[in-house]
């Protein structure tokens, strides 16, 4: 069933729920699903609405411009998404393959609903996986000196292919704001630690050295500040003294795979609202 | 902050959300929180509404009778609850103390908001705990022959003390429908297994014999059919070949305690709607 | 580092640990790792020993025949395994692809150390996956009438290719003892429920109907009795009223994948001892 | 059944397992249980041995002095513990009661096997709990100026009552080395965060501000460096955007309780070996 999904955030106001739902009822829409969150500390209100697309009696453009008029006096920050619009996802990776394999597999399984029109890497190592699944592969090496130029090349490719979401599936490069800004809120990164613990390099080695009893992974939106962006999903796995750094890395793969895929799925299903440095992630009710 | 909580279930109807929220808006209420669930298979709609009690401008009785008029044509099945009404919980137990201790402790900690005006047991073993916390203890032994009569005694005590919720914290007796019917949906039982696995007696021994790799616990509303009532909460704990039945029982205690306390808390916070043999348990958003 | 792994089970006897470790010390072996379990109820003793293969100063045959002489009077039930012997795994599946993809991906990632020389299915649906990874695919349809004959065909293929382990990655057929007996303890099946709950068909639908709050998966050795074999691994995932049977099935995929892969990995690393209808699964210490 | 538990650590040496187990076999001991760990990176070897106390045919002193002779040339760092020696635990707390209640309850339930001869606090708030369970309560307030003196008072009380283990059940004071040194490896602290994330004050508020999706707790041995000591146990609980700092604190209580009690239990059962800034925690096989 095709749906229209509205994501809305605004300051908390009395009567807003009745107001918004009445708006859609008047327009002839059946509200399939309505999720909300009120942050009473920040006095902010968040909403996700699912409408049945077959109730749409005007053009998509008209729906948006009409809702814009409704939203403007109420100071709603909103987006309107159509689920028949299959999103286009670019995978960026370096040498590590497990997250790449996993994302492609889930897309094939239709657990993640999107197209993957291309893969970009600063190393040639994963080209065989792209080939195997007939995904165009762009090898764009990068050095300190060529970083600016390489980022521009990547950006150009992303724009040319109308990419909606960039997934950094263990792409081991720090990005500049020139790259991030045009895709703000549309780049998901996986960090192989339970942030804010073990930010930066070699988290498994540092977890081993500290003797932690659980290791984790964190998927977050990329921002200019390394490993500081809004967290979408985290999970952990119990470990003990028996595991070496190599062993931790191995068992960590499953956590990384699952955390990244859940975050990508939530984003693609229009279940995430970014608010400052935090996220509201609505649950998947199906 | 004192609140009014409405729990509503009905068949799914177009415009219901706008309809209900507009009703409360018109009455001058700020909707603090609204949670919903649509079961599209069963064509059923569930809702939980939190209102700010300081917006109440009429008597509680008038609120209810007015809403009854609104609900009647829409065929809403509903309850209206006031959070300043501290509920009265009776603990029933036999010889095992860990759930009893845990419930009392959580009530003292104010994590479970209720009064515990009495404890009832078919054994005298736990009287010292009741004494310690100055909770009146009723020792009502039961045999096959006296079951009917003992249940009537218990019922009489529950009613005399205006008990809202009965928590069977490892009360090892099968209840008859004469007992359950007057408290339908208001008796919570803890079963020391991950239902529907290991229904009935000695679940830890049977878990050991089957060689399962996780053990669990289930909190459910008591019904006439043993261990078949609507499930409120479940959880598990990882085990392995190293544990004997006694060891399983020991590690199982923590799962039992946590599962039971979460279920009791959800019930007392008016977050559970019973629908047939299943429950809708809304999340705790605070 | 190549290793020799001994798996031993016997009745519990005083001095056995000193006896066995002294045997290997005398033969010049460094014991890299020694894990034990005593089941004091069943009076059984289990042991896993890892030796450094570079300490082997005789032929592999001589090691085995010499240890056989040691084991005989002590009534040890044992196996001797060499980790440089890469095991050959056959995947059997029907129409569902997620476990198949996952196993192949993990083998490519070298998280599961084995060869996968063939895939067998009673449906043609997954042939494209086999092709993609250049794994020979045998399509052997089966009907009630041809079951006996098809099983013989499968057996013949397994034997011709010297298969060490058969992984039933959602192969939806009940096997006869004619098939199982020659591979007793070497067929791993994944059941998409937390056994012993929901044995048999359609576990996700039945989980939905029962309203459970967690769903699970179980990997076990196949035996003649459906879903009754020794359990190797289980795990669960928290769900709630929001999920339909289709939704449960979707989130269940991750549990199935992880549970099956952990079980296969434990078996291939010689960490599982089957004892009656239960398993001893030693932990992975690396 | 009473047992003798040896904890041993040393540098990794060939033949050590055969050597040690033969020693005990020769002395007439049945080894009930033997657990080991080899840290191949640090070239260290760890062992835990359980012996049946009824096999002890000499005095306890003679056993120790005899083993000392065996251990000396092998450079074993060891302790010998007798399980009929019930350990004496002092609880230190400030104003927060949940961990205190939990420890006492578990001791009453005999899940934690120890005596609790006293409770010490820098605030009078929890005296009623001590009274309830008839545990002597020492109220020793502390200011910046009196810290040194107060620590000396506490030390004097601990020594006078022959305390084996100090449990800091949310004792909100930084300890000096003068206090820690005499009880090195015998003070367990609970930190209400998943270390090394959120060291120091107000971890729940900081977890809220960072928008993490799980909160945790860490039990560790106290050292001079705040929140830096060897970690014994950690666990986490899944949270989401719905929870305020107060809500996080509430759900965190269960994690704190469980993590602290598991750590205390592991220590009292002689299952922990401290090695540098890390621990080896052997599993509980009963």
Which domain-ending residue is among C60, C82, C104?
Answer: C82
> In the predicted model, what is the mean pLDDT of chain A?
95
pLDDT higher than 90, residue D225: no
Question: A171-216: per-residue pLDDT in tens?
Answer: 999 999 999 999 999 999 999 999 999 999 999 999 999 999 999 9
Q: What does the pLDDT look like over D68-87, one tens digit per residue?
A: 999 999 999 999 999 999 99
| Residue A155 covered by a domain | yes
Instruction: Let me know if residue D78 belongs to a domain.
Output: yes
Distance CA A186, CA A162 (A): 12
How far apart CA B132 and CA D130 sit, in angstroms, is 12
D-chain residues near B262 (CB < 8 A): none
**Are both D64 and D130 inside the same structural domain?**
no
Cβ pair C243:A286 closer than 8 A: yes
Token digits of residue D262: 């598991």
At A12 the pLDDT is 86
Final residue of a structural domain among B43, B58, B82: B82
- CATH of residue B127's domain is 3.40.50.170
Domain end residue (candidates: A82, A98, A126): A82
* A73 and A124 part of one domain: no
CATH number of domain containing C11: 3.30.70.260
Cβ(C222)–Cβ(C175) below 8 Å: yes
Q: Is residue B176 part of a domain?
A: yes
Kindly indicate the confidence band of residue B286, based on its pLDDT and cuts at 50, 70 and 90.
Answer: confident
Q: Say if B199 is an interface residue toward chain C (CB within 8 Å).
A: no
pTM: 0.95
Same-domain check for residues B33 and B110? no
- Whether residue D128 sits in one domain with residue D10: no
- Binned at pLDDT 50, 70 and 90, residue B108 comes out as very high
**Co-location of D127 and D247 in the same domain:** yes
Using an 8 Å CB-CB cutoff, list chain A residues near D212. 195-196, 231, 234
Asked if B18 has any chain A CB less than 8 Å from its own CB, the reply is: yes
Cross-chain residue pair C279–B241, CB shorter than 8 Å: yes
Question: Between B97, B109, B284, which is nearest D98 by CB?
Answer: B109
Segment D169-186 shows an average pLDDT of: 95
Which tens digit of pLDDT belongs to each residue from A3-24? Answer: 999 999 999 888 899 999 999 9
- Indicate yes or no: CB of D234 within 8 angstroms of CB of A216: no
On chain C, the residues whose CB falls within 8 A of the CB of A286 are 242-244, 246-247
CB pairs under 8 A between B and D: 49
Q: Is the CB of residue A258 less than 8 Å away from at least one CB of chain B?
A: no
B108 touches chain D (CB under 8 A): yes
pLDDT digit string (tens) for chain C, length 286 residues: 899 999 999 998 888 999 999 999 999 998 999 999 999 888 999 999 999 999 999 999 999 999 999 999 999 999 999 999 999 999 999 999 999 999 999 999 999 999 999 999 999 999 999 999 999 999 999 999 999 999 999 999 999 999 999 999 999 998 999 999 999 999 999 999 999 999 999 999 999 999 999 999 999 999 988 889 999 999 999 999 999 999 999 999 999 999 999 999 999 999 999 999 999 999 987 7
Q: Is residue D286 part of a domain?
A: no
Whether residue C197 sits in one domain with residue C248: yes
Per this entry, what is the length of chain B? 286
Residues C77 and C123 in one domain: no
Chain B contact set for C280 (CB, 8 A):
241
What is the span of the domain harbouring residue B49?
3-82
CA of C259 to nearest chain B CA: how many angstroms apart? 11
Q: Which residues of C180-209 are buried (b: 16+ CB within 10 A; e: fewer)?
A: beebebbbbbbbbbbbbbbbeeebbebbbe
Residues A182 and A77 in one domain: no
Let me know: does D75 contact D11? Beta carbons within 8 Å: yes
- Predicted pLDDT at C241: 94
Whole-angstrom distance, CA of residue B86 vs CA of residue D60:
59
Q: Is residue C41 part of a domain?
A: yes
Domain count, chain A: 2
What pLDDT band is residue A44 in, cutting at 50, 70 and 90?
very high
pLDDT score, position B226: 83
Q: Say if residue C245 is in the same domain as residue C157.
A: yes
Structure tokens at A140: 């764009």
Do residues A197 and D217 lie in contact, with contact meaning Cβ atoms separated by under 8 Å? no
pLDDT of B148 higher than 90: yes
Min Cα–Cα distance to chain B from D133, Å: 8
CA distances from B84 to B58, B264, D246 (A): 16, 17, 20
Assess if residue A227 is contained within a domain.
yes
Identify whether A111 is part of a domain.
yes
- Confidence label for D286 from pLDDT (cuts 50, 70 and 90): confident
Judge if C19 and C94 occupy the same domain. Answer: no
Interface test with C, best of B211, B212, B229, B263 (most C CBs within 10 A): B211
**Token output for C100:** 């198949």
Average pLDDT, chain B: 95
Contact A267, A232 (CB under 8 A): yes
Judge if D168 and D28 occupy the same domain: no
Q: What residues contact C6, with CB distance under 8 A and at least 6 apart?
A: C47, C48, C49, C51, C67, C78, C79, C80, C81
What are the Cα distances from residue B274, in Å, to A178, B29, B47, B282? 54, 26, 12, 11
- Please, which chains are in contact with A (at least 3 CB pairs closer than 8 A)? B, C, D
- Per the annotation, the verdict on A227 as an active-site residue is yes
Instruction: Return d(Cα D151, Cα D145) in angstroms, integer.
Output: 12
Please report residues of D whose CB lies closer than 8 A to that of B283: 242
Structure tokens given for C187: 């067929």
pLDDT in tens, B6-33: 999 999 888 899 999 999 999 999 899 9
Q: How does pLDDT run across B30-47, given as a tens digit for each residue?
A: 899 999 999 988 899 999
Report the pLDDT value the prediction gives residue C28, as an integer from 0 to 100. 94
- The answer to whether residue B249 is domain-embedded is yes
Asked if residue D134 and residue D50 are part of one domain, the reply reads no
């Amino acid at each position: 069933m095709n749906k229209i999904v509205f994501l809305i955030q605004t300051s908390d106001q009395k009567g807003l729920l009745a107001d918004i739902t009445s708006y859609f009822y008047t327009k002839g829409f059946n509200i399939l699903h309505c999720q909300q969150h009120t942050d009473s500390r920040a006095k902010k209100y968040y909403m996700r609405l699912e409408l049945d697309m077959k109730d749409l009696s005007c053009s998509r453009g008209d729906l948006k411009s009409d809702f814009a008029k409704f939203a403007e006096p109420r100071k709603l920050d909103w987006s309107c998404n159509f689920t028949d619009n299959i999103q286009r996802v670019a995978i960026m990776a370096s040498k590590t393959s497990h997250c790449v394999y996993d994302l492609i597999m889930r897309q094939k399984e239709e657990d993640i609903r999107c197209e993957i029109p291309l893969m970009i890497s600063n190393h040639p190592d994963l080209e065989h996986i792209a080939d195997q699944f007939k995904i165009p592969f762009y090898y764009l090496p990068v050095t300190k000196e060529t970083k600016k130029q390489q980022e521009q090349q990547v950006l150009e490719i992303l724009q040319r292919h109308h990419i909606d979401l960039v997934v950094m599936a263990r792409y081991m490069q720090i990005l500049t704001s020139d790259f991030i800004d045009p895709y703000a809120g549309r780049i998901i990164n996986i960090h192989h630690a339970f942030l804010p613990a073990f930010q930066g390099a070699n988290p498994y080695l540092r977890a081993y050295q500290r003797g932690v009893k659980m290791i984790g992974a964190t998927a977050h939106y990329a921002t200019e500040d390394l490993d500081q962006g809004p967290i979408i999903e985290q999970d952990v796995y119990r470990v003990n003294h028996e595991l070496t750094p190599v062993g931790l890395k191995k068992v960590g793969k499953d956590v990384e795979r699952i955390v990244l895929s859940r975050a990508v799925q939530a984003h693609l299903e229009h279940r995430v609202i970014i608010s400052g440095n935090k996220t509201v992630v609505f649950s998947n009710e199906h």
